[in-house]
Structure formats: C-alpha cells, structure tokens
Amino acid sequence: MRLEYFQMIDRVRSVDAEAIAAEAVVPDRSPVFEGHFPGHPLVPGVLLVETMAQASGYLLLHRFGFARMPFLSGVKEAKFRSFVVPETRLEVSARLEHDGSGYAVTKASIVADGKRICDAELTFRTLPFPAPELEAAMRARAARIGLPGQAPP
Amino acid sequence: MASAFDRIADIIAETSDVPRERITPDSHVINDLGIDSLDFLDIVFAIDKAFGIKVPVEAWTQEVNNGTAPAEQYFVMKNLATRIEELVAAKSAGA
C-alpha cells in the first residue's frame, strides 16, 4: 500500500466475474501516520473504505473488460471493527451484489489474521472512461497488481 | 399483490425523505419529489431487486437527453410504474 498515493491494493490473489480476493500490506511508515495519530499510528477508516472500494473497482474493471470505469458513489453499513496498525497484512475481498444499468453494488470486507477488520456495501456509477490517460493508468496499475485481462484491446 | 405503483412508491418513501402520502400517480420523481440522481440510483437498485429486473436507466436518460423521449415517459410515477410492469412482462415472456 502507498497510502499517500491512494495505491491501496498490492496483489490480486483471485478474481472472476463475481468476486475478487486481494492483498494489501500496510507500510511501516507513511506521512498519514504523522497525523493519524501521533504516537499511535492507525490506518484511517476512510482509507479502509478506499481499500475496499479499490478491490471492488478492480472486480468491476475485470467484469467489464475495462470498457467502463467505476466511480464510488455510495457507502452503506460501513463498520470498522478493529484498529489497523503499520505492517498489517490485509486480505481484501469484494463480491458483486448487483450489476445495474450504469451502476453496480458490491459487498466488501477486510480481514487480518483471521479477524474481521471492516465491511461495507459500496455503490459505484459505471461510466465509459472519461480520459484515455485514466484508462491507461488503470490498465498499468491493474497489470502491476496481477489483475488478469488488463492488456489493451 | 400490491400494484407496481404502490410498490415503487413504498420503495421511494423508504429510500428517500419523501413522505409516502406525497407520492401520487402524477408525481414527477425529480421535479415534484425532489429525488436527486444519487437517491434515484438507490431507488433503482431497490426496484431492480424487488422486481427482479434491470431498469435501463442509462438508455432512458440517453433518450431524454437526446430529445427522443419526454422525461415524463419515465419519471412520472404512473408512467414509471407502467415501464416497470412492461419490463417485468418482458422478462416473464423471455423466461
């Protein structure tokens, strides 16, 4: 994870049209921890939501064959059950709840050492890529984390 | 079973801040009930689940934006209910 660059997912372990399993390791240092919190570094809950959203996003990119980009538009029932400290290895998973017209809904969760960290229901608007640079960046990032099917058409 | 109108009105009342009694067959979902696009997504999700269909919101929006269909055709409650009934019937016919 590179928290300050919003690069939350390190590796995709498995993915199909319905679900994804990914890994993310919290860095030992980050400017984020300077403020959150001094002397007691914790990954902010909003970044755990972002981590679940990115896993869901890669699931949707894979499902759509990179024809559409998911943009987070709703977070429901988000629960943060445990603190997440530096160097924690996170198992991030997301499952498609519904593939609608121009939107999709997922249920996502994070587990560490068998312990539930957080979960939420996430809604995304799905749109054609608004800029070729964004599509190229998403494909490149997806390739780095091992998401299959990200090669340009 | 409740009519499509009643089921949709119940969904809107549960999903948004609009009181159920304000929702009439002639209510325009956006202009009269003040539902914004994000709330409408939640409503469509609930309709998709309740009726087992996929409401083609993107196609509807495109038709309205292109001027090939009036917004009332899709966004006035009685017409929305009719469109949903048509989608359910089409799904049943194709099943």
Instruction: Collect all residues of chain B within an 8 Å Cβ-Cβ radius of residue A64.
Output: none
A74 vs A50: CA distance, rounded Å: 12
- Is residue B2 classed as helix, strand or coil in its secondary structure? coil
Closest by Cβ to B55, choosing from A73, A101, A105: A101
CATH, domain range A3-144? 3.10.129.10
Note the pLDDT of residue A152: 58
Q: What is chain B's pLDDT, residue by residue, as a tens digit (95 residues)?
A: 689 999 999 999 999 989 999 999 999 999 999 999 889 999 999 999 999 999 999 999 999 999 999 999 999 999 999 999 999 999 988 76
Note the pLDDT of residue B43: 95
So what's the ipTM on this one?
A: 0.87
Question: How distant is the Cα of A105 from the closest Cα of chain B, in angstroms?
Answer: 8
Rounded-to-10 torsion of CA B18, A108, A128, B87: -50
A92 vs A147: CA distance, rounded Å: 14
Instruction: Collect all residues of chain B within an 8 Å Cβ-Cβ radius of residue A98.
Output: 45, 48-49
Closest CA to A150 of A54, A59, A60, A62: A62
Domain positions in chain B: 4-94
Nearest CA in chain B to A99: B54
Any catalytic annotation for residue A36?
yes
Domain positions in chain A: 3-144
Instruction: Collect all residues of chain B within an 8 Å Cβ-Cβ radius of residue A105.
Output: 45
pLDDT tens digits along A123-149: 999 999 999 999 999 999 999 999 987
Q: What angle do CA B45, B90, B82 make, to 5 degrees?
A: 65
Average per-residue pLDDT in chain A? 95
Is CATH 1.10.1200.10 what the domain over B4-94 is classified as, yes or no? yes
How far, in whole angstroms, is CA B75 from its chain's centroid?
Answer: 6
pLDDT-based confidence at A151, cuts 50/70/90? Answer: low
